[in-house]
Amino acid sequence: MKKNKLGYWMLIGVSLIGFGIILSGCNPADIAGPSPTTTAALAATTTTVPAATTTTAAATTTTDLVTTTTTTTTTTSTTTTTLMVPTGMADSDFSGSGWVTADSIAKVSPEVGARDWAWALAVDSNGKILLAGQSDGPKNSDAFVCRYSSDGTLDWKAVYDSGGGDQNAAVTSDSAGNVFTAGYIAGPAADIAVIKYTTSGILDPSFGHNGVASFEDSSGGEYASGIALDNSGNIYIAGEDDKSDMRLLKFNSSGQSVAGFGASGVVKYDGGGYDSGSSIVIDGSGKILVGGTSNNGTTDMIVWRYDPANGVLDSTFGTGGKAIYHSGANEYGQSVTLDEAGKILLLGDTLTNNFVLCRFTDSGTLDATFGGGDGVVIYGSGEVFGSSIASASSGKILVAGYKGPSMHWKATLWRFNSDGTLDTTFNSGQGYISSTLTAGDQDERGQAVVTDSLGRYLMGGYTKGLTTSADAAIWRFK
């Protein structure tokens, strides 16, 4: 559920330097860095459910941080866990400090100045954490995925080098814990690539061509930003090409293009101007939702809904299969997800110190129960950028991004209530939590957000000083 093309983001970064709004005071609840001083008082609050018991038991553990209710019933063999609702603190159960960083991921030996950017984050069915992005390799950028245990220990890293520039922009996993990334590899210009790794982090030779399925069209550039798997193991990829058209691809579980979907497994959408798929999610009916940007006079946030069988736009959704938010200004769709009720949340950014949350109903209309009646929240408080959206327990909505002032970008996680209001119960009235792992002038950016099976929040991104190289990072909050 993430978009990325590095050039695009670098452009955003550059475009923002000119906006010099200074925020009021520092936030005492910010994550301190680099010394892990703010989380020492936290204790683990997880309630462990026995694998099997002979009696029916219910237990509720309440602390000032979370309430965890567990019910184990042997007669039905079901376990119900009420997920924690994090209060917005760095989670000391994660690597002791609440964060991990990774440097020189694609280098044989550590090297000063290696740039490591993480664009995507996922948690697999075993609770392993997957962080994906790109890292300076020996010759050029390489695509990486790092897998961590839930305590923040690195399990393995896998680096892919096609010989040219490579990037992972999205990551997910199947029920067995196999890992799938999407992004681009070097080809004629760039080619969309899906890479499959086994649970041990080894390329799966039975997938695609030696573990890699790719797409190239007309010697141009093709880029993937989103990935989703359906229940049959089919893989859907959202992206764009260098002709400013959105691309939606379908591969089967072996990494072969699915012939009946679009034209030989590929859908192209051209609304007349710039069209880009940044993020993808499959709804409860199996339909394919692509979130992104479409310009037909103005630049708008859009959700396309496609039939998974043939790649045809679903005419029962929005207008001709498209739900659009258009303010009159420019908005760029970044990330799409579904909430607990099955409604569609789309995050966009105006590139003018605001990000935008839209909620659409299942029929593709703006939801009148969100954002005070118009289905839209435009959030701006100083310089803010929204990168990724996730829905969390108790109807909460999470946005990962970064917060200025420029030259002091802080990776930030915001939380909103289900009606779109900022949730001031998060982080002691703030409604967000920011990070400054790198002291002084810094550039830290949240690029992805997910929740885990206990309800904790994880943000992926990177941290760098203005004159030091980026390091990939994961933050966890409880």
**Site residues (vs Ca ion, CB under 5 A):** 103, 114, 116, 140, 142, 161, 166, 187-189, 191, 216, 222, 244-245, 270, 275, 469, 471
Closest by CA position to 288, among listed 349, 228, 206, 371: 228
Closer to Ca ion at the Cβ: 170 or 390? 170
| Cα distance between residue 402 and residue 442, in whole Å | 11
Residue 246 Cβ vs Ca ion, minimum distance, rounded to whole Å = 7
Q: What are the residues whose beta carbons fall under 8 Å from the beta carbon of 153, sequence distance 6 or more?
A: 95
Tokens (6 digits) for 220: 């141009």
Q: What whole-number distance in Å separates Cα of residue 253 and Cα of residue 356? A: 35
Quote the least distance from Cβ 161 to Ca ion, whole Å.
Answer: 4
Whichever of 155 and 216 has its CB closer to Ca ion, that residue is 216
Of the two residues 190 and 376, which places its CB atom closer to Ca ion in the complex? 190
Amino acid, res. 263: A
- Judged by beta carbon, residue 30 or residue 116, the one nearer Ca ion is 116
Q: Minimal distance in Å, beta carbon 107 to Ca ion? A: 9
Question: In the numeric block, which tokens belong to residue 324?
Answer: 């659009």
Contacts of residue 62, defined as CB under 8 A and 6 or more positions apart, other chains included, come to none
Sign of the CA dihedral 103, 1, 195, 9? negative
Q: How far is the CB of 416 from Ca ion (least distance, A)?
A: 31
Identify which of residues 72 and 225 has a Cβ nearer to Ca ion in the complex. 225
Q: What's the min distance (Å) between Cβ of 449 and Ca ion?
A: 22
CB of 446 to Ca ion, least distance (A): 17
Q: Give the pair of three-digit tokens for residue 163.
A: 């010989």
When the beta carbons of 245 and 367 are compared against Ca ion, the nearer one is: 245
The first and second tokens of residue 320, run together, are: 């001709």
CB of 190 to Ca ion, least distance (A): 5
Residue 324 sits at φ, ψ, to 5 deg, of -125, 140
Residue whose C-alpha is closest to residue 355's, from 284, 408, 308, 414: 414
Least Å from the CB of residue 458 to Ca ion: 20
Name which of 101 and 337 has its Cβ closer to Ca ion. Answer: 101
Beta strand ranges found along 198-343 (DSSP E):
212-215, 222-229, 235-241, 246-251, 266-269, 275-282, 288-295, 299-306, 322-325, 332-338
Taking the complex as a whole, the smallest distance from the CB of residue 309 to Ca ion amounts, in Å, to 25
Residue among 168 and 418 whose Cβ is closer to Ca ion: 168
List the structure tokens of 232.
Answer: 């049959």
Q: Residue-wise over 160-189: b if at least 16 C-beta within 10 A, else e?
A: bbbebbbbbbbbbbbeebbbbbbbbbbbeb
C-alpha angle with apex 150: 147 to 152, nearest 5 degrees?
A: 70
Under DSSP, is residue 446 helix (H, G, I), strand (E, B) or coil?
Answer: strand
Closer residue to Ca ion, CB minimum distance, 86 or 211: 211
